[in-house]
Chains A and B, each alone.
Chain A
Amino acid sequence: MLHLHVWGPAFGLPSIDAECLAIIAYLHNALPSSEWRLIPSNDPAVSPLNLLPALHHKDNWVSGFQPIVRYLSSAAIGKDLDEPLSSIQRADSVACSAYLRARAGPLVDLSLYVSAANWVATTRPAYSSLLSFPLTWTVPTLIRAEAIARAEHLGLAELDSDFDPNGGLHLTGRDALPETFRRHIPLMTKKTVREEMTPEQATAIRLFGLAEDCLKVLDDLMLGKSEDGPRFFFGDAAVSSLDCLAFGYLALMQKPPVPRSFLRDWLESKTPGLHKFVDSMLAAMAVRGDLPWADPAPTPAVRFGGRVLDSVMRHVPGVGGHYAAEMRYRAERHKKGVDQRAAMLIVGAALVGLATGYGVQYYRALQPFGASSQTWEPRRARTRLSDFGQLGTMLSSAMGPYQPVPSGIDVGGEHGKLVEVDSEID
């Protein structure tokens, strides 16, 4: 029995993640549904590689689309979907898969994650329905930060700075005033056309250029262009692993109900073949019956708490990056528990924490700068002569009671006085 752990369903698709969608499509076409289970665990930490999709089979964990396909064909599990391909078609399939990851992946990232309007309206609610309570605050933003980093090279960061100008959420200037006040203030500036546009409209040329670059090539590469079931290599309904991967990315371009749907618009108007491809893949999956969903095993409270703590740690400014790098280092070396490096780090962090705490305490114990400070001076005048033994006592009594004139503010009573020290003279 194979157990496939994935990100859960969203937008009417079996998963919210492209590679998860792809491997679901692959397994559904390669295996009868009695031989595998689909578990929406929504936690990459179930697999040692910390990546979903993850396949669990006889104590083996495999993560990622390509490795799982490789594992299935090497272990001869199920039908090898790439078997009917010739060797040059296999080469093309490998190249196209790389192309999808390199070019279609960033487009999906742009549409679902970078564009703030789409993120707020569509993607974030979808993640919220997949995750349970405190994680909905921490995990989606981490996923989004990763996606933004991946799409950074496209230079479209301004999609992030997007707020609907008519939404009333972020009112500035004139809009912040109530309607009755606004009538009495003369209209100083008119909004330019540029300000009226959403970032998607402002960068439309570049966005469409990107979409055109990527999707035109995919459209060219699709060779089997039959009317009812377009596929990459053959016109009939036979599905290859490349079809599955392309389905993963194209479905996420087309299906999510995003408010700024530049990718879906492009797919519908310019490349109807690709548009039809997604629907035909979905239809082909529906024909093969329901997906073998299974409930994930309930997470123990300790593990859940650990995950919450982990995601919170990654959010801490300054420390978060180092923490993530350290966790990656440990995952790559398969380190478990506390070894020398971890112990040194913990001790180091503890020492730094102690030093900082001591410094803060010391600082708070300091006199406020500039304020006058007072010191206590014991009054020794009366016993000045009596300090010199018996003779002194005799002299003291001989000279009679003598009281020196107090110089400071005398609030100390008979044993001493408070002397004001001017800190500015110090």
Chain B
Amino acid sequence: MAGPPSSRPGWFAVPAPVRELFKLFPLATLPPESLPERSPEPSLSSSSRARPRLYVFARTWEDASNGRPSFNPQCLKWQTFLRIAGVDVDLVPSNNHASPSGALPFLLPPTTTATTTPTSSSPEKESAKPAPASKTTATTTTSTIPLTGAKIHRYAQDHATTATSPDAPPSRTEAYEALLSQSLRPAWLYALYLHPSNTPLLKTLYLPASPILHLPALHALRDAAASEILKTTRSPSISPPQLLADATDALRALSTLLAGDEWFFGRPDPGLFDAEVFAYTWLILDEEFGWAAAAKAAEEEEEEEEESFALAEGLAGFDNLVSHRRRLYERCWPEAVGQAH
């Protein structure tokens, strides 16, 4: 209205002062930072990844480089199975955001025979322009596809140095695997994620250190765990005594199945199912894991209705499962047997 519109530039034109301001940027261009020490070195691909890398949840870099058991049952299952098969892997501590499937673990097979890297020639060029560095990482990662789930299984079987027992009765194995995921996993999820006395443990394992991110991350984790439990148990509410009863039933069934045998299904060597059971039994009974002690938890509870969730006590009652756990640990972690465990 005020002023003739024809002399003005269009609505979307940037006003001159703002344009002048933006012309000042970038104020200064800093030289590119060197990559962190733990990152894979693209230029040395053939020598650096001679061994496959398994990305898992781990507490510290030290734990991972020593190959200590992961604190996540799913990761520990595959870690154990790879050890059973005799496949040497490098553990890399990671988190879900790193994984192509959104869940850990995943396995990067070793880069074999001369992956053609176009930038191995001149490191000076790289430091001059930051763009080629990202291009090289792209070329090397596309040469090897990350493996998850059943593909890890196949990889381990293909590269096994010791025989994994081949013939398990498939139908029964599937039924007992369903038992683990249907009865034992909800109890595990409840004990770790939802039981209030284990919140400090959950903080050290999964939550970011920053106090601002802390609370929303905790809520998101708990919601995810609760909905997972509700979905598997097909019930509208979570009832801890029932979860515990189901888990105890499952452990009793496993104990009966194992009976006096060395490995499950009476096989001469451990298999994937042994690894899967071990992943739970190891963590549930691990004294260094940091479970809230049942007695201490009972004292700390202000509300009387919160009973302690005695998963470990239930498991300790089944002697053959406990000795199966010890046997598999001694077989897969022979270097650690001399130490505390």
Contact = CB atoms under 8 A, between A and B. Distances in A.
Partners in one complex: yes
B256 interface: yes
Contact of A101 (B171, B174, B234, B249): B234
Contacts of A105: 234
A99 interface: yes
A64 B172 contact: no
A102 B181 contact: yes
Interface residues of A, number: 38
A150 B2 contact: no
A351 B176 CA distance: 53
A80 to B, nearest CB: 15
A150 B227 CA distance: 10
B257 A91 contact: yes
Contact of B183 (A51, A98, A216): A98
A92 B249 contact: no
Contacts of A95: 172, 175-176, 178-179, 253, 257
A98 B171 contact: no
Given A105-B234, A217-B174, A332-B238, A90 B256 contact: yes
A91 B252 contact: yes
Contact of B237 (A19, A217, A328): A328
Contacts, number: 95
B178 A99 contact: yes
A103 B235 contact: no
Interface string A227-245: 0000000000000000000
B172 A102 contact: no
Contacts of B237: 49-51, 328, 331-332
A70 B181 contact: no
A88 interface: yes
B242 to A, nearest CB: 6
Interface residues of B, number: 33
Nearest to A18: B234
Nearest to B236: A50
A220 B232 contact: no
Contact of A98 (B238, B242, B250): B250
B236 A91 contact: no
Interface in A210-232: 216-217, 220-221
B235 A64 contact: yes
B41 interface: no
A332 B234 contact: no
A67 interface: yes
A14 B17 CA distance: 79
Contact of A88 (B170, B175, B236, B257): B257
B235 A149 contact: no
A243 B253 CA distance: 18
A333 interface: yes
Interface in A67-88: 67, 70, 87-88
Given A49-B235, A331-B236, A64 B242 contact: yes
A221 B246 CA distance: 21
A100 to B, nearest CB: 8
A236 B254 CA distance: 27
A1 interface: no
- Top-5 shortest CB links A-B: A220-B171, A91-B253, A91-B256, A99-B178, A98-B182
Given A67-B245, A98-B181, A217-B171, 4 more contacts: A63-B235, A94-B250, A95-B257, A98-B250
27 contacts: A49-B236, A64-B235, A90-B253, A91-B256, A95-B178, A95-B257, A98-B175, A98-B178, A98-B183, A98-B250, A99-B174, A99-B175, A99-B178, A101-B178, A101-B234, A102-B182, A102-B232, A103-B178, A150-B231, A150-B234, A217-B171, A221-B175, A328-B237, A333-B305, A424-B1, A425-B1, A425-B2
Interface of A: 19, 44, 49-51, 63-64, 66-67, 70, 87-88, 90-92, 94-96, 98-99, 101-103, 105, 149-150, 216-217, 220-221, 328, 331-334, 422, 424-425
Interface of B: 1-2, 170-172, 174-176, 178-179, 181-183, 231-232, 234-239, 242, 245-246, 249-250, 252-254, 256-257, 259, 305
